[in-house]
Amino acid sequence: MAKQKLVMIGNGMAGVRTIEDLIKENPDAYEITIFGKEPHPNYNRIQLSNVLQGDMSIEDIILNQLDWYETNKIQLFTGETVVDIDLDNKEVISDQGQRVAYDKLIFATGSSPFFIPVEGIDKQGIIGFRDVSDCEVMIKGAEEYQDAVVIGGGLLGLEAAKGLKNLGMNVSVVHLMPHLMERQLDAAAGAMLKQELEKQGINFLMEKQTVEVLGDERATGLRFKDGSEVKANLVVMAVGIVPNKELAQQAGIVTNRGIIVNDFMETNIEDHYAIGECAEHRGIAYGLVAPLYEQAKVLAKRLANVPTEPYEGSVTGTQLKVAGVDLYSAGEIEGDDQTKAIRVHNEFEGVYKKVLIRDNHVVGTVLYGETTESTRLFRMLSNKEDVRDMTSLSILQAAGEAEEDDVAAMADEVVVCGCNGVTKKTVVDAIHAHNLTSVNEVGGCTNAGRSCGRCKPLIGQILEHTLGDSFDGAAAKDAICSCTTLDRDEVVAEIKEKGLTSVKEVMHVLGWKNEEGCSKCNPALNYYLGMIYADYKDERDARLVNEKMHANIQKDGTYSVVPRMYGGVTTAEDLKKLAEVATKYEVPLVKLTGGQRIGLFGIKKQDLPSVWAELGMQSGYAYGKTLRTVKTCVGARFCRYGTQDSMGLGMELEKKFERIDTPHKFKMGVSACPRNCAESGIKDIGVVGIDGGWEIYVGGNGGTDLRAGDLLYTVKTKEEVMDIASAYLQYYRETGHYLERTSKWVERMGLDHIKSVIEDEKVRRELISRIDQTLERYNEPWQEAIESDEIQGKYYRPVVTN
Amino acid sequence: MTTQTRVKVAKYSDLPVRNGVAITVGSEKIALYKVTSGEVYAIADKSPHPKGGVLSEGLVSGHYVFCPVYDWKISLADGQVQAPDQGQVKTYEVEIERDEVFLRL
Ligand code: SRM
Ligand SMILES: Cc1cc2nc3c(=O)[nH]c(=O)nc-3n(C[C@H](O)[C@H](O)[C@H](O)COP(=O)(O)OP(=O)(O)OC[C@H]3O[C@@H](n4cnc5c(N)ncnc54)[C@H](O)[C@@H]3O)c2cc1C
Ligand code: SF4
Ligand code: FES
């Protein structure tokens, strides 16, 4: 018998999850066709906020790559919209004129942003926040324009606002109500949230009703009911969503707010189903994935003809995915005269917790500033547990206290991943059955952690608890790129064991999927090989542009030149040379960098060798995964507080370690007293002079994820500083993952562990000897280029014009 | 109808393997690549990413180049940007006769 044809309209989160579940139930039940309006495979819409905020790329959020569709023999049409349905002949019709016949049809069309019907709403520059293309418009808009306004202070609006702020815009949020996220938070938590976001630079216009969008073709501002106005060249509408029901409605299926379905996701017409945000179940159209995934399970079983419990609706919990904000809410928010509230408001630490109880049952919770109990409270709420015998004290439990025991004591049926409804037992069973060792693998088997990601730390704890001693956080498996399934440690071990010596050989022998690798593994392998073999011959073409060119590429294809200025100390002679070169080559920008030296920006590629030659200086490696700068303060030679020669030590450190390859860039600072004018507290290695000695701080970072350094040792002499720096740096080189800054590495390895390695006299000596040996292999790269016609011909040749 | 011209742009033996070469022909900026298997490709030297970026300095792997500025993966053969990113770069027909490399444009 020929297979039945299943067609699905919409290639989004709920729809594709249904298909995944269906395939698990019965891979051969249907011939499946999916239409998706967007030009992408199925991606994690929830993480768009992270894409906008700059923490993830689109590639990072793809849930099902194209080969998943192929492997499962699913016919996918992306960038193609279904515009009509012929119910009589059971065919869907696309905007490209394609007609596809079906036996069963699923509507999984999601919803659309609601645009408030005011004058001027159709002007350019007004968008919703729903898909990849909205993100792209915002990213592009941020380049051209200054002022953004988000209408709506709910979940989506605030995430959009934070993203736009990160993109460098002035952002105001317009909100109709007196406090933010009023559907999820009470006034107290809403006020705390507002205060935090104001601190992060977002402006709020509360209790404002928009009545008009100003501007000619493009929006220039908004006018409010009270007559006031605000400037805006980019307006994001985030006041709510409307289910995409039109297609079903046109075809004669019963709709209300959404497409009406019963407890099995069936519409009023046989063989026609609806799932996700477009569906309305018992009067509710859900807008979060957790309930949608429960619906998906039911529908998948129904389609596979497997008996299933009905879907009877869900209780939902919400969190906000904005850095610096920990917030969770579920169930009722305000309570009534039947409810009793347990409230903790710790203004000092910015923590607010409220639990609403009615008839001995938790009916709602709002947590702000500290949300570790969210899972437990949500369970009590959704399981309607009787809380009579519980003490209310535990809600005051300190953060992190007895977390380990929490996992041990956690009952099997506790839901670990709210989005995907995965219980502790499911996670533990999967770990045992498939020998899982990483959070990502658990996600692959159970779906836990694959949506909002909030549960990942908990899954990590369960892994740790389940595997006991055999769990090694460092060994958690993460392939180095999509060309291989091997992780960093496996690759390094294979290189050593098989004696592999070149990037090409590694890819060949270890069975790389792409013969010449990709932009992730080429530089990584080149690094690992150079770390393993002290006399490694670098493969220049495996490096990405900046390191290959020994100059940093600029947006227009020109380069920057930043010469060494050891310890930030220069001379009149050198300044003259810089000035002469800048004049002669008409350098567009001469700038003091944040690293205490001078950068020449906007130099043409073919001029690089002669600029270097005329400067007669060394490369400052402002482009490399290596030692960047050693910032120093004036110190004891001049400063009245100085206790040590900070400039001297800084220059010595810079001269010793310059050029050494490291997993990521590496920065140092030396200050001569605790006033710390060289900012040693936020350096990969920061040294602070004190009376009679030096303090050595490690793991500091002043970049994306600010981290204060940890005190590693206090020592007496400069020689000891040099030794510890050598051993520390080499240990980082030998154990760091490519592109892992020391701030992350220190946290992964643990400071005590690192200390125990360095304190072992024999190990320390060996580390020092290996780094010294490695340092011998380097030549000055600018000099090398000046002297070699071959290098100039290959890398710096002028553009040939025909 | 457009007429095509044939322009000599390089010596085959001069082209480095896996390392793009930037040329301009008239007003067009073009990146030439000789890949490991020996074929030569020519594509416009500008990434279709909204913020642009040159392609000639990108890392070459097989028949693909990775944009040096935004890391998009682009096919040298048809100029197609690989998923999940999107776009297409203009490609030029390459002809090799003895040691001469010609472009049609
Ligand atoms: C030139 C300079 C800015 C300036 O005008 O002062 C600069 C410029 C760039 N920085 Fe920086 N950073 C500069 C000091 C810093 C500092 C301050 C410092 O070193 O004291 C920081 C924070 C400190 C830190 O790293 O802990 C800094 C944190 C970053 C980061 C975030 C790193 C992180 O781990 O969080 C990046 C992105 C990256 O490396 O992935 C980055 C990346 C970049 C790149 C290379 C971006 C790129 O890939 O093109 C910029 C190159 C510009 C160009 O066109 O050449 N830059 N960058 C500074 C050069 C210092 C030098 O003399 O070498
Ligand atoms: C920025 C953002 C942040 C979010 N954060 C969270 C969060 O933290 N937690 C949470 O639980 N939820 C969150 N959500 C909500 C969550 O993403 C949605 O609930 C979920 O994606 C809905 O799934 P769906 O399949 O119903 O719809 P969608 O994922 O929207 O998929 C529907 C798809 O169908 C396509 N389509 C529509 N009509 C047609 C047609 N006629 N032909 C072809 N294709 C069509 C659409 O283009 C779309 O790709 C967030 C949403 C956004 C936008
Ligand atoms: S760190 Fe101390 S010694 Fe150095 S310049 Fe500042 S005040 Fe002076
Ligand atoms: S709770 Fe959202 S992914 Fe697990």
Tell me whether strands A259-261 and A170-175 are parallel, antiparallel or unpaired. unpaired
Least distant ligand from the CA of A639: 3
Return the number of other C-beta atoms located less than 10 Å from residue B37's C-beta. Answer: 9
User: Do A4-111+243-303 and A623-779 show the same overall fold?
Assistant: no
Question: Dihedral of the CA atoms A537, A539, A544, A550 (nearest 10)?
Answer: 50
Return the pLDDT at A451.
82
What is the C-alpha separation between B12 and B25, in angstroms, rounded? 17
Ligand 4 atom closest to the CA of A289, numbered from 1: 2
At A547-568, the pLDDT tens digits run 999 999 998 889 999 999 999 9
What is the C-alpha separation between A452 and A466, in angstroms, rounded? 23
At A564-599, the pLDDT tens digits run 999 999 999 999 999 999 999 999 999 999 999 999
Residue A515 has pLDDT above 80, yes or no: yes
Return the pLDDT at A165.
92
SS3 call for B105:
coil
Burial of A349 (0-12, 13-18, 19+ CB in 10 A): exposed
Q: What separation in angstroms does the CA of A330 have from each of A94, A355, A356, A378?
A: 40, 10, 10, 7
CATH of A327-387+410-463, one of 1.10.10.60, 2.60.120.680, 1.10.10.1100, 2.30.140.10: 1.10.10.1100
Tell me, using a 6 A CB cutoff, whether residue A452 lines ligand 4. yes
| Residue A531 phi, psi dihedral angles, 5° rounding | -75, -40
Question: In this complex, which of B53, B59, B86 lies closest to A39 when CB atoms are compared?
Answer: B86
Tell me whether strands A210-214 and A203-206 are parallel, antiparallel or unpaired. unpaired
At A704-727, the pLDDT tens digits run 889 999 999 999 999 999 999 999
Rg of chain A on CA atoms, in Å: 30
CB distance B54–A41 less than 8 Å? no
Looking at A54-68, A78-92, A715-729, which range is the least confident one? Answer: A54-68
The string over A179-211, giving b where at least 16 C-beta atoms fall within 10 Å of a residue's C-beta and e elsewhere, is bbbbebbbebbbbbbbebbeeeebebbeebebe
CB distance A519–B85 less than 8 Å? no
* ipTM rounded to 2 decimals: 0.70
- How remote is the CA of residue A658 from the centroid of ligand 3, in Å? 25
Tell me, using a 6 A CB cutoff, whether residue A642 lines ligand 3. yes
For chain A, what are the domain ranges? 4-111+243-303, 126-239, 327-387+410-463, 488-542, 623-779
Who has greater pLDDT, A18 or A332?
Answer: A18
Least distant ligand from the CA of B70: 1
The DSSP letter of residue A514 is S
- How remote is the CA of residue A227 from the centroid of ligand 4, in Å? 43
Looking at A214-223, A478-487, B4-13, which range is the least confident one? Answer: A478-487
Q: How many residues would you count in chain B?
A: 105
CB distance B24–A800 less than 8 Å? yes
**CA distance to partner chain A, nearest, from residue B51 (Å):** 8
Residue nearest to atom 5 of ligand 1 (CA): A593
Query: Shortest CA distance to A299 belongs to which of A79, A15, A685, A721?
Result: A15
The A-side interface with B (CB below 8 A) comprises: 39-41, 43, 58-59, 62, 66, 136, 139-140, 143, 514-519, 522, 541-542, 544-545, 548-549, 553, 555-557, 605, 794-795, 797, 799-802
Tell me, using a 6 A CB cutoff, whether residue A622 lines ligand 1. yes
User: Binding site for [4Fe-4S] cluster: residue ranges of A?
Assistant: 633, 639, 673, 677
Average pLDDT, chain A: 91
**Confidence tier at B48 by pLDDT (50, 70, 90):** confident
Instruction: Quote the distance between the C-alpha of residue A594 and its chain's center.
Output: 25
% pLDDT > 70, chain A: 96
Residues 65-104 of B with CB under 8 A from A: 66, 68-69, 71, 73, 83-86
Inform me whether the C-beta atom of residue B8 falls under 8 Å from chain A C-beta atoms: yes
Inform me whether the C-beta atom of residue B5 falls under 8 Å from chain A C-beta atoms: no
Return the pLDDT at A317.
83
Return the pLDDT at A396.
46
SS3 assignment for A629-652: EEEECCHHHCCCCCCCCHHHHHHH
**Confidence tier at A476 by pLDDT (50, 70, 90):** very low
Strand segments, DSSP code E, in A531-665 are 552-553, 559-561, 589-592, 598-603, 627-632
Tell me if A189 sits within 8 A of A365, measured CB to CB: no
Tell me, using a 6 A CB cutoff, whether residue A415 lines ligand 4. no
Return the number of other C-beta atoms located less than 10 Å from residue A312's C-beta. Answer: 10
**Confidence tier at A477 by pLDDT (50, 70, 90):** low
Domains of chain B with bracketed CATH: 6-104 (2.102.10.10)
Return the pLDDT at A109.
98
Return the pLDDT at A399.
45
CATH number, domain A126-239: 3.50.50.60
Counted across chains A and B, CB pairs separated by less than 8 A come out at 88
Strand segments, DSSP code E, in A676-791 are 685-690, 693-698, 710-715
Looking at A94-108, A298-312, A754-768, A788-802, which range is the least confident one? Answer: A788-802
SS3 assignment for A342-402: EEEEECCCCEEEEEEEECCEEEEEEEECCCCCHHHHHHHHHCCCECCCCCHHHHHCCCCCC
CATH of A623-779, one of 3.30.70.2740, 1.10.1450.10, 3.40.930.10, 3.30.413.10: 3.30.413.10
Tell me if A170 sits within 8 A of A146, measured CB to CB: yes
SS3 call for A682:
helix
Return the pLDDT at A380.
84
Tell me, using a 6 A CB cutoff, whether residue A669 lines ligand 3. no
Residue nearest to atom 27 of ligand 2 (CA): A110
Is the C-alpha dihedral spanning A283, A289, A295, A296 positive or negative? positive
Question: Which residues on A lie below 8 Å from B16 (Cβ)?
Answer: 794
- How remote is the CA of residue A626 from the centroid of ligand 3, in Å? 27
Question: In this complex, which of B52, B58, B73 lies closest to A545 when CB atoms are compared?
Answer: B58
**CA distance to partner chain B, nearest, from residue A63 (Å):** 11
Burial of A469 (0-12, 13-18, 19+ CB in 10 A): exposed
Q: Fold for A4-111+243-303, please state it.
A: FAD/NAD(P)-binding domain (3.50.50)
At A399-426, the pLDDT tens digits run 444 444 567 878 888 888 888 889 999 9
CB distance A516–B62 less than 8 Å? yes
Return the pLDDT at A405.
53
> pTM for the whole thing?
0.55
A742-750 mean pLDDT: 94
Return the pLDDT at A350.
85
Return the pLDDT at A55.
76
At A86-128, the pLDDT tens digits run 999 999 999 999 999 999 999 999 999 999 999 999 999 999 9
% pLDDT > 90, chain A: 74
Question: Dihedral of the CA atoms A8, A10, A11, A17 (nearest 10)?
Answer: -60
- How remote is the CA of residue A219 from the centroid of ligand 2, in Å? 27
The answer to whether the bond into A523 is cis (omega within 30° of 0) is: no
Tell me if A48 sits within 8 A of A5, measured CB to CB: no
Question: In this complex, which of A62, A522, A794 lies closest to B59 when CB atoms are compared?
Answer: A522
Tell me if A528 sits within 8 A of A492, measured CB to CB: yes
Tell me, using a 6 A CB cutoff, whether residue A634 lines ligand 3. yes
Helices H / strands E in chain B, number of each: 0, 9
Tell me, using a 6 A CB cutoff, whether residue A704 lines ligand 1. yes
Which of A278, A288, A292, A316 has most ligand 2 atoms within 8 Å of CB, for mutation? A288
Q: What separation in angstroms does the CA of A229 have from each of A226, A364, A633?
A: 9, 38, 49
User: Binding site for siroheme: residue ranges of A?
Assistant: 677
Tell me if A258 sits within 8 A of A242, measured CB to CB: no
Return the pLDDT at A468.
75
Tell me if A515 sits within 8 A of B35, measured CB to CB: no
Residues 6+ apart with CB under 8 A from A199: none
Return the pLDDT at A465.
85
End-to-end CA distance of chain B: 13
A293-310 mean pLDDT: 95
Return the pLDDT at A471.
64
Return the pLDDT at A393.
46
